[in-house]
Amino acid sequence: MNHKRFYRIYRTAELQVRRRKKRHARYVRGATSPTVTAPNERWSMDFVHDTLANGRNVRLLTVIDDFTAESIAIEIDSSLPARRVIRVLEQIAAERGYPATVKFDNGPEFSSLAMLKWGAEKNVKLHFIDPGKPTQNGKIESFNGRLRDEVLNEHWFLTMDQIRATVEEWRIRYNTHRPHGSLKYLTPAEFAQQYREGLKNTRPQFEAA
Question: For residue 209, what pLDDT is reported?
Answer: 33
pLDDT of residue 5: 72
Residue 158 confidence (pLDDT): 96
**Which domains are present in the chain?**
26-31+39-185 (3.30.420.10)
**What does the pLDDT read at residue 192?**
95
Mean pLDDT per 10-residue interval, the chain, length 209 residues: 66 62 69 88 97 96 98 97 98 96 95 95 95 92 97 96 98 96 94 88 49
pTM of the predicted model as reported, rounded to 2 decimal places = 0.83
pLDDT at 206: 39
The pLDDT score that the predictor gives to residue 113 is 95
Residue-by-residue DSSP string for the chain: --HHHHHHHHHHTT---PPPPPP---EEESS--PPP-STTSEEEEEEEEEE-TTS-EEEEEEEEETTT--EEEEEEES---HHHHHHHHHHHHHHH---SEEEE---TTTSSHHHHHHHHHHT-EEEEPPTT-GGGGHHHHHHHHHHIIIIITT----SHHHHHHHHHHHHHHHHHH--BGGGTTB-HHHHHHHHHHHHHHHSPP----
Residue 22 pLDDT: 56
